[in-house]
A = this chain, B = another copy of it.
Amino acid sequence: MKIAKTYTSEVAKSLIDCNFFAKQAFYEVEQSIKNNVTLHHNIFILNNSAKNCNGVVPVKEKCYEILEEQFHWFREKPLVYFQDDAQKGGPIDVYKEFGSDTDIFKVGLEFETGNISSAHRSLNKLCVGIKKQELNMAILMMPVKRMSFYLTDRVSNYEELEPYFLLLDNVPFIVFGFDAEEYSPDAPILPKGKDGMSPRTIRKWQSVH
């Protein structure tokens, strides 16, 4: 896929400019989008035969797989602040600690597959992680409006959340809006839900780390 739109807060820009780990995290997430391609192609071609015809989960899973397998990110990192109380907030979807014990840079990422309200919750969860210093940088990725039209009904898109990015001005926060490179009615339809997903063992965060 390609990165069609990016929001990088001023704080995140400074971090990326002067901190190698921030720059590397940005690069790895960028790669997880760019390397998410259609089988036997070097670009992502989305079926556009009907509104909402594709599931969004396979798109997400592929990005996560790249982050886990190529770049060694972990899945489902709970925030200590929530004290394992799922009612307060679920784990961070994807997480990586850059650097070593004495100089750790912690990055949390969420790929938003829910509706717009749910996107607000993800955004606030990541902000809580930053505020409690459990994250040094937060990244949200979501489809742009053009692409979301052909994905699961009501999945939120970059443009919908964009009017709220001004709340992130002082937070080390990045939002990627991704898009397919091409659209074609002949491209394979992406299954909805977990149907058709090949079983895969995720690299879950263990508290021993």
A interface residue numbers (CB < 8 A to B) = 81-82, 87-89, 114-118, 120-121, 123-124, 127-128, 131-132, 160, 163-164, 166-167
Minimum C-beta distance from A162 to chain B (A): 8
- Please classify the interface of chain A as helix (H, G, I), strand (E, B), loop, or mixed, using the class held by over half of its residues: helix
Minimum C-beta distance from A21 to chain B (A): 25
Q: A117-B114, A117-B118, A118-B117 are in contact. Are A89 and B124 (CB under 8 A)?
A: no
Q: Which residues of B contact A121 (CB under 8 A)?
A: 116-117, 120
A124 near B81: Cβ-Cβ < 8 Å:
no
* A118 CA / B114 CA spacing, docked (Å): 12
Looking across the interface, which residue of chain B has its beta carbon closest to that of A167?
B127
Q: Which residues of B contact A160 (CB under 8 A)?
A: 87-88
Q: Which residues of B contact A118 (CB under 8 A)?
A: 117
Q: A117-B115, A120-B120, A123-B124 are in contact. Are A131 and B88 (CB under 8 A)?
A: no
Looking across the interface, which residue of chain B has its beta carbon closest to that of A165?
B128
A120 near B124: Cβ-Cβ < 8 Å:
yes
Looking across the interface, which residue of chain B has its beta carbon closest to that of A87?
B160
Minimum C-beta distance from A16 to chain B (A): 23
Q: Which residues of B contact A89 (CB under 8 A)?
A: 163-164
Q: Which residues of B contact A114 (CB under 8 A)?
A: 117
Rank and list the top 4 A-B pairs by shortest CB-CB distance, nearest first.
A117-B117, A120-B120, A120-B121, A88-B163
Minimum C-beta distance from A71 to chain B (A): 29
A-B contacts, 15 listed (Cβ < 8 Å): A81-B163, A87-B160, A88-B163, A89-B163, A89-B164, A114-B117, A115-B117, A116-B121, A117-B118, A117-B120, A120-B121, A120-B123, A123-B124, A128-B167, A132-B166
Minimum C-beta distance from A119 to chain B (A): 8
Contact partner of A82 (CB less than 8 A), chosen from B88, B128, B163, is B163
Contact partner of A167 (CB less than 8 A), chosen from B115, B124, B163, B166, is B124
